Amino acid sequence: MPLHTPFDQAHGLRTLFAHARVRYVPVVSNPHVPFAGMLLERLCTAFAEQGASSLVIDAAENANEPSEMALLDLAACIEPLSLRVSYIAARGLPLKFVDATGSTRGFLQAAREASPGSQVVLVHASAAELCRLFGRQRGDEAEDGACPLLLAADQPASVTHAYAAMKLLARRAGLLVHELMLGAAEDSPRAERIAMQIAICADDFLGAVLRDWIRVDPATAAAEPPSAALRRWVRGRLQPGTPQPSPAARDSAPYFAPPAGVERFAAANWAFN
């Protein structure tokens, strides 16, 4: 006779992966960044280079609606795009898991159980949606220390939207540490100024911190290796608190080819425009 009986059908999965560390990356959607799909592709390529499998949950305002089967069998709605990248259309789906406190964290648990092989879960959603998913409640820490990643381009409307999103996340959800992925050409004269502007506004008006920022050239091809800055950022997400290599060591780090199917990932039908 077994020593104990599982409480439910998911008990075995929870036990098996109890010690597996899942990294959540809340990515704040920005309708003024038309190449957001490419930025997400760059993130997944960089995580895959480090040997991590990613699940992309697209719950942004203009994402595709989820399959009607999502509430019955979430795993069946997850589409593998490559060996290390999976995707699920989830516009409006987190709200189906809302509890009496207004939190939708139950959706994160359901997604983790539906994709147990994913070490990274990227949640692309509006600031309001991310507040319900990752907001602090009664002094609790945010889910696995998740830090929102703002998206912006070197255009005023996108920067204004990114700041407004940070303001909402800070005041409503108590998320005071943020990071920024800025889509801008390498020779953009505005990139550093934009990051500095967001950092100063966060500190002066919100008591928040822009902990880090990375620039990604929107003209980058899917098959190109991640930049040294993106590699550094990804290593920091996978191993927080671990000292990062020197710039010289980062620049000479070996590059592993992107997983098969990454071009399909970049061309996936996500309605970002």
Whether 250 shows a pLDDT value over 70: the answer reads no
Task: Give residues with Cβ within 8 angstroms of 147, minimum separation 6.
Answer: 26, 175, 177, 178, 179, 211
Please give the pLDDT value at position 258: 38
For range 144-155, the mean pLDDT: 89
User: E strands of 126-244, at which residues?
Assistant: 149-153, 177-183, 209-216
**208 neighbors 177 (Cβ within 8 angstroms):** yes
Q: What's the token pair of residue 162?
A: 């990114």
Centre a 10 Å sphere on the Cβ of residue 227 and count the other Cβ atoms it contains: 19
Please give the pLDDT value at position 221: 87
Classify domain 20-266 by CATH number: 3.40.50.300
Whether 9 shows a pLDDT value over 50: the answer reads no
To the nearest whole number, what is the mean pLDDT of the chain?
84
Beta bridge partners of 89: 58
Please give the pLDDT value at position 136: 75
Whether 252 shows a pLDDT value over 70: the answer reads no
Whether 138 shows a pLDDT value over 80: the answer reads no
Domain-wise residue ranges, the chain: 20-266
Distance CA 33, CA 63 (A): 14
Please give the pLDDT value at position 18: 42
- pTM equals 0.81
Distance of CA 173 to CAs 18, 56, 101, 167, 176, Å? 26, 22, 13, 10, 9
Whether 271 shows a pLDDT value over 50: the answer reads no
**134 neighbors 121 (Cβ within 8 angstroms):** no
Rounded to 10 degrees, the C-alpha dihedral 119/124/125/126 comes to 120
* Residue 211, Cβ density class (10 Å: 0-12 exposed, 13-18 middle, ≥19 buried): middle
For range 21-32, the mean pLDDT: 95
pLDDT in tens, 97-136: 999 999 999 999 999 999 999 999 999 999 999 999 999 7
Least confident among 16-20, 91-95, 186-190, 263-267: 263-267
Tell me the Cα Rg of the chain: 18
Whether 218 shows a pLDDT value over 60: the answer reads yes
Please give the pLDDT value at position 242: 54
Q: What's the token pair of residue 259?
A: 């997983």
